A and B are shown apart, each in its own frame.
Chain A
Amino acid sequence: MNVAVCVKQIPDPAAPGELDPSTLTLKRDGKLILDDSDSYGVEMALQLADQAGGGEVTLVSMAPRGETGGLRTALAMGAAKAILVSDDALAGSDALGTAKVLAAAIKRISPDLVVAATESTDGYTGTTPAQVAELLGMPSVTFANKIEVADGAVRVHRQTEAGYDEVECPLPALVTVTAGVVEPRYPSFKGIMAAKSKPIEELKVADLGLDPTQVGAAGARQEMVSVEEAEERQAGEVVVDEGDAHERIIAFLEQLKVI
Chain B
Amino acid sequence: MGVDKIWVLAESVEGVPTATTLELLAAARSLGSTVEAFTWGPDTESLAPVLGAHGATRAYTVGDVSPGLPGAPVAAAMAAQVQAGNAPDMVLVATTYDGRDVAGRLSARLDRPVLTNVVNLTVEDGVPTSHHAIFGGTQVAKARFTGPGPAIFVVRAKSFVPEETGGGPAEVVTVEVPDLGRANDARVLERHVEERAGPKLDEADVVVSGGRGLGQPDNYAMVEELARLLHGAPGASRAIVDAGWVPYAYQVGQTGKTVKPTLYVACGISGATQHMVGMKGAKNIIAINKDQEAPIFGIADLGVVGDVHKVLPRLIDALKARS
Q: Is A237 an interface residue (CB 8 A)?
A: yes
Binary interface encoding of chain B residues 153-197 relative to chain A, with 1 for a CB under 8 A from any of its CBs, else 0: 010000000000000000000000000011111111111111000
When the two chains form their complex, are residues A159 and B97 in contact, meaning their CB atoms are under 8 A apart? Answer: yes
Measured between beta carbons, the chain B residues less than 8 angstroms from A109 are none
When the two chains form their complex, are residues A133 and B305 in contact, meaning their CB atoms are under 8 A apart? Answer: no
When the two chains form their complex, are residues B318 and A235 in contact, meaning their CB atoms are under 8 A apart? Answer: no
| Main DSSP-derived SS at the B contact region | mixed
When the two chains form their complex, are residues B140 and A230 in contact, meaning their CB atoms are under 8 A apart? Answer: yes
Taking the closest CB of chain B, its distance from the CB of A18, in whole angstroms, is 9
When the two chains form their complex, are residues A168 and B182 in contact, meaning their CB atoms are under 8 A apart? Answer: no
Binary interface encoding of chain B residues 286-323 relative to chain A, with 1 for a CB under 8 A from any of its CBs, else 0: 10100010000111111111110011001100110010
Q: Is B101 an interface residue (CB 8 A)?
A: yes
Stretch with Cβ within 8 A of A (4 or more), from B37-45, B51-59, B107-115 = B107-115
When the two chains form their complex, are residues B186 and A169 in contact, meaning their CB atoms are under 8 A apart? Answer: yes
Expressed in whole angstroms, the Cα–Cα distance for A89 and B189 within the complex equals 44
When the two chains form their complex, are residues B319 and A173 in contact, meaning their CB atoms are under 8 A apart? Answer: no
Q: Which 10 A-B pairs have the closest CB atoms?
A: A130-B104, A241-B306, A221-B147, A163-B194, A134-B108, A127-B104, A236-B301, A238-B303, A169-B186, A139-B185
Q: Which of A36, A168, A240 contacts B306 (CB 8 A)?
A: A240
Binary interface encoding of chain A residues 189-228 relative to chain B, with 1 for a CB under 8 A from any of its CBs, else 0: 0000000000000000000000000000000111111111
| Number of interchain pairs (Cβ within 8 Å) | 275
Chain A: which residue is nearest B106 at the CB level? A134
Chain A: which residue is nearest B242 at the CB level? A179
Q: Is A166 an interface residue (CB 8 A)?
A: yes
Pairs across A and B, CB under 8 Å, 6 listed: A131-B104, A142-B101, A236-B300, A238-B304, A246-B318, A258-B206
Q: Which of B105, B247, B299 contacts A134 (CB 8 A)?
A: B105
Q: Is B1 an interface residue (CB 8 A)?
A: no
Q: Is A183 an interface residue (CB 8 A)?
A: yes
Q: Is A125 an interface residue (CB 8 A)?
A: yes
Measured between beta carbons, the chain A residues less than 8 angstroms from B81 are none
When the two chains form their complex, are residues B109 and A143 in contact, meaning their CB atoms are under 8 A apart? Answer: no
Q: Is B16 an interface residue (CB 8 A)?
A: no
Q: Is B75 an interface residue (CB 8 A)?
A: yes
Stretch with Cβ within 8 A of B (4 or more), from A56-64, A79-87, A249-257 = A249-257
Chain B: which residue is nearest A179 at the CB level? B242
Q: Which of A135, A225, A248, A249 contacts B108 (CB 8 A)?
A: A135
Q: Is B84 an interface residue (CB 8 A)?
A: no
Q: Is B34 an interface residue (CB 8 A)?
A: no
When the two chains form their complex, are residues B143 and A161 in contact, meaning their CB atoms are under 8 A apart? Answer: no
Taking the closest CB of chain B, its distance from the CB of A91, in whole angstroms, is 16
Q: Is B134 an interface residue (CB 8 A)?
A: yes
Seen from chain B, the residues whose Cβ lies within 8 Å of a Cβ on chain A are 13, 18, 69, 71-72, 75, 95-97, 100-101, 103-105, 107-109, 111-117, 124, 129, 133-135, 137-147, 154, 181-194, 205-206, 230, 238, 241-244, 247-249, 254-255, 262-263, 274, 280, 284, 286, 288, 292, 297-307, 310-311, 314-315, 318-319, 322
Measured between beta carbons, the chain B residues less than 8 angstroms from A129 are 104
Give chain A interface residues in 142-169, CB to chain B under 8 Å.
142-143, 145, 155, 157-169
Measured between beta carbons, the chain B residues less than 8 angstroms from A37 are 255
Taking the closest CB of chain A, its distance from the CB of B313, in whole angstroms, is 9
When the two chains form their complex, are residues B244 and A227 in contact, meaning their CB atoms are under 8 A apart? Answer: no
Give chain A interface residues in 67-116, CB to chain B under 8 Å.
94-96, 99
Expressed in whole angstroms, the Cα–Cα distance for A16 and B147 within the complex equals 32
Chain A: which residue is nearest B127 at the CB level? A225
B116, B147, B305 interface centre (most CB from chain A within 10 Å): B116
Measured between beta carbons, the chain B residues less than 8 angstroms from A239 are 302-305
When the two chains form their complex, are residues A131 and B303 in contact, meaning their CB atoms are under 8 A apart? Answer: no
When the two chains form their complex, are residues B188 and A252 in contact, meaning their CB atoms are under 8 A apart? Answer: no
Expressed in whole angstroms, the Cα–Cα distance for A54 and B65 within the complex equals 36
Chain A: which residue is nearest B68 at the CB level? A139
Q: Is A17 an interface residue (CB 8 A)?
A: yes
Question: Given contacts A124-B254, A230-B138, is CB(A165)–CB(B191) below 8 Å?
Answer: yes
Q: Which of A165, A168, A180 contacts B248 (CB 8 A)?
A: A180
When the two chains form their complex, are residues B140 and A228 in contact, meaning their CB atoms are under 8 A apart? Answer: yes
When the two chains form their complex, are residues B302 and A258 in contact, meaning their CB atoms are under 8 A apart? Answer: no
Expressed in whole angstroms, the Cα–Cα distance for A235 and B154 within the complex equals 31
Measured between beta carbons, the chain B residues less than 8 angstroms from A99 are 104, 108
Expressed in whole angstroms, the Cα–Cα distance for A142 and B184 within the complex equals 13
Taking the closest CB of chain B, its distance from the CB of A229, in whole angstroms, is 6
Measured between beta carbons, the chain A residues less than 8 angstroms from B322 are 259
Question: Given contacts A229-B139, A238-B305, is CB(A127)–CB(B311) below 8 Å?
Answer: no
Q: Is A9 an interface residue (CB 8 A)?
A: no
Chain B: which residue is nearest A157 at the CB level? B192
Chain A: which residue is nearest B184 at the CB level? A139
Expressed in whole angstroms, the Cα–Cα distance for A125 and B254 within the complex equals 10
Expressed in whole angstroms, the Cα–Cα distance for A245 and B304 within the complex equals 7
A124, A126, A135, A168 interface centre (most CB from chain B within 10 Å): A126
Taking the closest CB of chain B, its distance from the CB of A59, in whole angstroms, is 21
